[in-house]
Structure 1
Amino acid sequence: MNIESELYDLEKSKGSVESSKAASSHGKKPKWRAHNQKPKDVFGQSPRDDIAAIPIRRADEATEEVPEDEYHTEELESLKGSEDEEEESKPPEFNEASTFGNVNLELYMLFPNLNVFKEAVRNYTIAQGRPIEFPKNDKVRCRVKCCGEECDWEILCSWAEAYGCYQVKYFNLNHKCSRKLILPQADRQWVAKKLVDILRLTPKMTAADAYAHMAGTYHIQVAEIKLYRALHIAKEFIEGSEKDQYTKLWDYCEELRRNNPGSTLQLGVERPDLSFPARFDKLYICFDATKRRAMRGYKPLIGLDGCFLKGYYGGQLLAAVTQDANHAFYVIAYAIVGQETKETWTFFLTRLFEDIGHPSVHGWEFISDMQKGLKGALHELCPKANHRFCVKHLEAIIWKHWPNTDLRSKVWDCAKSKIMADFERNFAQVKELNVAAWNYLSNLPITSWTRAAFPTESKNQSLLNNMCEQFNGSIVKFRGKPILTMLEDIRTYLMTKINESRNQVAKYQGPITPAAQTKLE
């Protein structure tokens, strides 16, 4: 026992001397502390023989040192929780914001409903140029296959109870067919959606423009009839339903009366019995601003004309247009009617005379084409008012029945004659060229088509109804729209034109108007 005690003390003292030398040589404490080491016996082995010896890093082997006021700790990574495991294990969800050409489909992908899935498959297959069919399509599942011969492409989406939504259960993305240009899944509804944005920028887009857009952007060919129907759907989405807008005409008229006091708006409907719903018949509009300007500053010559509406329900737009001292045209009133007849012209002229006064009092003169029913309505309402005919249309009638270049020139010479002697000489030459044409012109009042016989009250020598033609040409882009959209576009156009003309005259300084000054110069 004494020998073993002495050996133990000798080994202990030897270890303490070595430790002190190592500490003095480095000047700092070693990284691995003594309390972190396993206890050893005198022979350097673990007290338990059944446990393998653990290698211990000694102080003289350490390469990293720790200051005395710090201590070493091992970096521990946090364990992943159950939420992280669920996020990693959850299948991908379809991104509904994906644009055309960027749609991605994967196996086990989740969809909120089958409509989103069908639209995604539609965009995906059209971008690839592959025709598809739906052999199974109900409320709980949808199976889509490629129409190509012996093509294996197929996808199945059905309800997934575990995720509470629809999931792709089967997806074979191998195609054995070639790309096609005509695809049945590109129906008119899908084409209309793709045309909405471009139609907002180019309202005058035609079917040919739409065909070129679909071929250049989506690389498909669309039938002409499908393009026409798709354009109609897209326009209805942008401008509203034509049928629904007729039901809002009462509200539109009330809103115009509230914002334009003094304006005249009269809406007529057909209703044989109270058991029948009211049906639109006609609408008359005359704004207070144009009414007052017509009474004060316009020339007493009013152009009357009608034009076709190009919408689904058709109709006619009747307008009364006049000129100011600067030869700028202004619309006094306009109306929407079903057809151009004596009854509709009587309705329009009666409301017009109530707003601007009767021709017998204010000396109004009228100029028009050979409008249906207009001549009879004017003769009935104001028989003494002078009614001019547009010589351009009179020339067209002469040319239609008696095509002769010399005859046509002489008709214009007669119309431009400023004194009766010149008119009688030119009119005699018309008789020499064609007696039938001379008889036709002789039946017309001389005050209706030659300057030599025009009354002097209007102080306007116009032979053409250009002011109405200019107005009809300006609104041609509006005449195919639904009724409320068309009326609002016309109102905005007239308001803008009046303001522009007013600003132009306000900048001019002179005793007479710019148009008169230009003629004098």
Structure 2
Amino acid sequence: MIKEENDQHFSRLRDYRLELLESNEDSTVELETFNGDDGSDVFYRFYVCFAALKKTWCAHCRPIFGLDACFLKCTTKGQLLVAVGRDANNKMFPIAWAVVDVESEDNWVWGINAVSNILPMVEHMMCARHIYANLKKKHPHRADMKGKFRKVAKSYNMAQYNKRVDEVKAYDMSVYDSMMMKNPKNCSLAFFTPSSTCDDVSNNISESFNHAVDPARSMPLVEMLETIRRRAMLRIEARKMRAMNHRGKFSLKAMEKVSEEKRKIRHCTIYPCGYEVFEVKEKNSSYKTKMVDRTCTCRKWEGSNQPTQSQVVD
């Protein structure tokens, strides 16, 4: 009975694709099949990117998106690939998803990602949490190693990065050697432009999406795709209503960030040096801050400012 139900869903995919295209103008929906040994039409992969999501992300969201994959839980084997962006409040915003047989470069290029081919000028970051997970396998009993590695990843400039790498070296040479083999430059903010306007160094946002659609991964294919679509719609609508009902000048997320920085400013000394330009001294380091341009030579301000260009996290 389960096999028969799955077969029915696969047989409806062409009609489902046409219905999506008819009801969602300018969307991209792709279906690929191949001929089986018995001459039958066999499902290969399915990709969907709704025009509303694509246009909204381009117009209003932060220019960064994460890529991730998770296994399907139904009797049909396969994986769900997702591209998840961040809205202006730094919250999850789904962009596109695909169902494929395995997570491979070919499937990423076909469906969601072609970083080196289609987007050659886009910066490509790696998830610091995944790099740390591999590091932890080699040093399982060093609980204090996590904080030191995270400081390396969260370094906003080269001076911070070099100092924190030296701290890891002084902490344990074997940990330092393992960390450098994983090349922390792939996930450290010091080596990327602030154009993503996001200072998060992990790809947890994509995994949050996978968790949000977890019940759907046990469903037959068309039902799964429809459930993901509807959950995305409900989530976006709920976010919109919360934003419309909010009465503050800034979002709650932004105010949390400002409050956090206010606590840190007690350790700074500020020297005015021109119109809306200040020298800020923090311990033994000094930085130039330009209020009009919203920049600071520490690179932290523009790294979490408003969207300007594009960046990708894997």
**TM score, norm. by length of structure 2:** 0.75
SS of the counterpart of 1:241?
helix
8 A Cα contact 1:281 1:338, kept in partner: yes
Deviates more, 1:281-290 or 1:501-510: 501-510
CA distance in 1 between counterparts of 2:190 and 2:105 reads 30
Flag structure 1 segments of 5+ consecutive residues without an equivalent. 1-232, 351-376
- Give 1:221-300 correspondences, 5 Å limit: 236=2, 241-271=5-35, 276-300=39-63
CA distance in 1 between counterparts of 2:122 and 2:187 reads 14
8 A Cα contact 1:321 1:467, kept in partner: yes
Q: Which has the higher contact order (CA 8 A, sep 6+)?
A: 2
- Give 1:384-423 correspondences, 5 Å limit: 384-403=121-140, 404-423=142-161
8 A Cα contact 1:305 1:320, kept in partner: yes
- Give 1:157-236 correspondences, 5 Å limit: 236=2
User: Shift of residue 380 of structure 1?
Assistant: 4.6
| Residue equivalent to 2:282 | none
8 A Cα contact 1:446 1:453, kept in partner: no
- Give 1:33-432 correspondences, 5 Å limit: 236=2, 241-271=5-35, 276-349=39-112, 378-403=115-140, 404-432=142-170
User: Shift of residue 416 of structure 1?
Assistant: 2.3
The structure-2 alpha-carbon separation of the partners of 1:436 and 1:428, relative to structure 1 and needing over 3 Å to count, comes to: same
SS of the counterpart of 1:378?
coil
Indicate yes or no: 2:284 matched with 1:516: no
Flag structure 2 segments of 5+ consecutive residues without an equivalent. 260-314
Q: Counterpart of 1:411 in structure 2: which amino acid? A: F
CA distance in 2 between counterparts of 1:465 and 1:251 reads 34
SS of the counterpart of 1:479?
helix
Q: Counterpart of 1:475 in structure 2: which amino acid? A: V
Q: Indicate which of 502, 505, 518 corresponds to 2:240.
A: 502
SS of the counterpart of 1:251?
helix
Larger radius of gyration: 1
| Residue equivalent to 1:162 | none
User: Shift of residue 454 of structure 1?
Assistant: 2.8
SS of the counterpart of 2:95?
strand
CA distance in 2 between counterparts of 1:380 and 1:432 reads 41
SS of the counterpart of 1:457?
helix
Q: Counterpart of 1:265 in structure 2: which amino acid? A: V
8 A Cα contact 1:269 1:279, kept in partner: yes
CA distance in 1 between counterparts of 2:115 and 2:104 reads 12
The structure-2 alpha-carbon separation of the partners of 1:408 and 1:506, relative to structure 1 and needing over 3 Å to count, comes to: closer
Q: What's the CA shift string for 1:346-396, capped at 9, x where partnerless?
A: 11236xxxxxxxxxxxxxxxxxxxxxxxxxx63454444222222222211
CA distance in 2 between counterparts of 1:472 and 1:349 reads 16
8 A Cα contact 1:323 1:329, kept in partner: yes
8 A Cα contact 1:454 1:461, kept in partner: no
| Residue equivalent to 1:87 | none
8 A Cα contact 1:316 1:339, kept in partner: yes
8 A Cα contact 2:65 2:84, kept in partner: yes
8 A Cα contact 1:407 1:434, kept in partner: no
CA distance in 1 between counterparts of 2:7 and 2:93 reads 30
8 A Cα contact 2:152 2:184, kept in partner: no
The structure-2 alpha-carbon separation of the partners of 1:280 and 1:484, relative to structure 1 and needing over 3 Å to count, comes to: same
SS of the counterpart of 1:305?
strand
8 A Cα contact 2:98 2:112, kept in partner: no
**TM score, norm. by length of structure 1:** 0.47
8 A Cα contact 2:126 2:186, kept in partner: yes
SS of the counterpart of 2:209?
helix
State the number of aligned residues.
258
SS of the counterpart of 1:349?
coil
Q: Counterpart of 2:136 in structure 1: which amino acid? A: W
SS of the counterpart of 1:499?
helix
Q: What's the CA shift string for 1:149-190, capped at 9, x where partnerless?
A: xxxxxxxxxxxxxxxxxxxxxxxxxxxxxxxxxxxxxxxxxx
The percentage of counterpart residues that share the same residue type is 29
User: Shift of residue 446 of structure 1?
Assistant: 5.2
8 A Cα contact 1:304 1:318, kept in partner: yes
More strand by share: 2
Indicate yes or no: 2:216 matched with 1:485: no
SS of the counterpart of 1:462?
coil
